[in-house]
Amino acid sequence: MSLSHLTNRRRTDLAQPFPADWNSHDEFFCYTRGRFITNESHEMAIRHVKFNMNELAKCAAKSIGPDSAHCVRIDKFPDGMFNKTFLFTMDNGAQVVGKVPNPNAGRAHYTTASEVATMDFVRSKLGTPVPKVLAWSSKASENSVGAEYVIMEKVSGLQLDKIWPNMDIKERFELVKTISGYQKSWMSTSFSQYGSLYYSSDLPDCDECTLSKADGSEVKEHGFSVGPSTGREFLDDGRMALDFDRGPWDTVEQYKTAVGLREIACVQNISELPKSPVSLYGPGTYRPSRSKKTAVLESYLRLLRFFLPLDRSISSSYLWHPDLHAENIFVNPERPAEVLGIIDWQSSELLPLFDHAREPYFLDFDGSYSGSLNPPQLPDNFDQLDPVEQGKAKSLYLKNSLVTLYRKFTLAKNETLFKAMDFRRSTSFEMMLLAQNLLVDGESLYLSRILQLQDEWSCLPGVSASGYPPFPIQFSEAEAASINKDSTGAIRGMEIMRQLKESLGDLWPEKGVVRSDQYDQTKERLKQAKTELIDRLSRSEAERAAWEDAWPFDE
């Protein structure tokens, strides 16, 4: 995952003449991209990994081939949230990239093993430009480095985010068509199971996977197997440490059921419920509780079969890139529509097509698109707007134009993907999507949505297929009133958090982190904002104490 507002593309210059003790550079092992506003010691600890850099440098040199090659320079790329990545330069000028996962990247062995197998499959079987893996180890105890690692080819070209702002809409659309072509190739092969992909040698208890080709034929793919999911939703917010069904699953209903059971297991067993990133809960707002989260998830499980689409083509299992943003796409700077490499396949999953089928992140789509295939229009009062508002209107117009072109092209060239994208706009998809993160937030609004669902019941896919059974969940008037009250409180909590975020502007700690040079300023501004918020919202000492307790940031 990227934090674009923290991006600093200058590599850390730690070059020294060979021979050198690379282990003496603490920066290699620590998170150095920014500072965390809350629980910083913990956040830094889960992003600190100590390993033998001297040995990793040797592995990097050996991966190139000649015994005479020696590593003479190591540059650290800006930290990601889950990995550390380095550029190794040899005395013969050759360069390779090395990647070491942080403790928070995923479960030992599985995350690295799946990433490597996925890169191989996408590169060799699906024809996508992915860097070739030259050496790797998913078992820290069995290598000289003392950590899991992947060494791969260095991708040529430039990251898309460096040139995207200067590309006109024609160039951008040409790139969109290129990416759409790769998506088409990813859809040339579906899998018989849901989970994540591995080499069969890394999953001795699993059978080799069965693939369905575009012509309807089924074949065994020798050397590859489907195993436990490495998706972030099975790892983040304390989930990684708990035991629950991680797959693989044979049907989409089994997979979506496992999601609900996963959230219930985490709600009931995690030591402390995660704080919401979008709401501030205090007096007069909704207050999360384990019992309400569990009850809502049980309702989701009762309704699930009615949400699933009848069209199996959009619920079949496909392999997809999990984070197709501009920093993960490398292009030819002379011909930006030519993609030279797509990186960061960690946490890739084999999921229903409707879970994959969203507009690529590099389109900078913010959800404001109407869904129409008609060309967007500038506001009628555009000429009366001030320059700042005109700039915003033009930016939104360009984004929506590009999204419209993408959707039109997808409809013309890849109708099944378009149908999956259309399903994502349905109530059914909304109800499945929101259930995936109820450990963290959203149970009050989810229950309110169930209350409204009675009016849409006959339109759900599984209802007509089941002969239009009655709505399976009944609410008394008192229960409905309580649900509406909780929903109103949740919306108020979200509005308070929105106002807080707006008041901080560029200092807002996205994902809890800010640039190091903004840390002190952000802390001071949050302190001021806290005082202002408590003074504005509190009507008693008890309420002041409650807002103090609800404040999500460290002093």
As a whole number of Å, the CA-based R_g of the chain is 25
DSSP letter assigned to residue 358: S
Q: What's residue 278's pLDDT?
A: 93
Question: How far is it, in rounded angstroms, from Cα 286 to Cα 293?
Answer: 12
Treating both helix axes as pointing N-terminal to C-terminal, what angle do 541-550 and 519-537 enclose, rounded to 10 degrees? 150
Q: Please answer whether residues 60 and 85 qualify as being in contact, where contact means their C-beta atoms are separated by less than 8 angstroms.
A: no
Whether 128 shows a pLDDT value over 60: the answer reads yes
Confidence of residue 8 (pLDDT cuts 50, 70, 90): very low
- The residues near 262 (Cβ < 8 Å, ≥ 6 apart) are 234, 239, 244, 245
Residue 214 CB coordination number (10 Å): 10
Q: pLDDT at position 377, please?
A: 81
pLDDT band at 38 (very low <50, low <70, confident <90, very high): very high
Average pLDDT over residues 421-438: 96
pLDDT of 532 reads 95
Q: What is the mean pLDDT of residues 132-159?
A: 97
Q: What is the pTM of this model?
A: 0.92
Tokens encoding 475: 């609410």
| Predicted confidence band of residue 295 (pLDDT cuts 50, 70, 90) | very high
Residue 20 pLDDT = 73
Backbone φ, ψ for residue 133 (5° rounding): -80, 125
Query: 229, 240 in Cβ contact below 8 A?
Result: no
Token pair of 133 as six digits: 């893996």
Q: Give the residues across from 249 on adjacent strands.
A: 194
236-242 average pLDDT score: 96
Q: What is the 3-state secondary structure (H, E, C) of 9-32?
A: CCCEECCCCCCCCHHHCHHHCCCC
Most confident of 15-24, 163-172, 345-354: 345-354
CA-to-CA distance for 523 and 530, rounded, in angstroms? 10
Report the pLDDT value the prediction gives residue 12, as an integer from 0 to 100.
45
Structure tokens at 539: 């009507």
* Tens-place pLDDT, residues 359-369: 888 886 555 55
Q: Is CATH 3.30.200.20 the right assignment for the domain spanning 4-154?
A: yes
DSSP 159-188: EHHHHGGG--HHHHHHHHHHHHHHHHHHTT
Average pLDDT for the chain: 92
| Ranges in the chain annotated CATH 3.30.200.20 | 4-154
Q: Using the structure block, give the residue that is written with the tokens 């207050």.
A: 287
pLDDT at 353: 98
pLDDT band per the 50, 70, 90 thresholds, residue 7: very low
pLDDT computed for residue 394 by the predictor: 83
pLDDT digits (tens, 9 = 90+) for 329-387: 999 999 999 999 999 999 999 999 999 998 888 886 555 555 667 777 888 888 888 88
Helix (H, G, I), strand (E, B) or coil at 257: helix
Closest Cα partner for 2 from 485, 328, 380?
Answer: 328
pLDDT of residue 492: 96
Cβ-Cβ contacts under 8 Å for 462 (sequence gap 6 or more): 305, 306, 307, 308, 310
Residue 3 binned pLDDT confidence (cut-offs 50, 70, 90): very low
DSSP state of 324: -
Q: With contact defined as beta carbons under 8 Å apart, do 426 and 307 qualify?
A: no
Most confident of 15-19, 146-150, 359-363, 371-375: 146-150
What pLDDT is recorded for position 68?
67
Band (pLDDT 50/70/90 cuts) for residue 393 is confident
Which pLDDT score, from 0 to 100, does residue 5 have? 37
Could you read off the pLDDT of 478-518 as tens digits, one per residue? 999 999 999 999 999 999 999 999 999 999 999 999 999 99
pLDDT digits (tens, 9 = 90+) for 49-103: 999 999 999 999 999 986 767 899 999 999 999 999 999 999 999 999 999 999 9
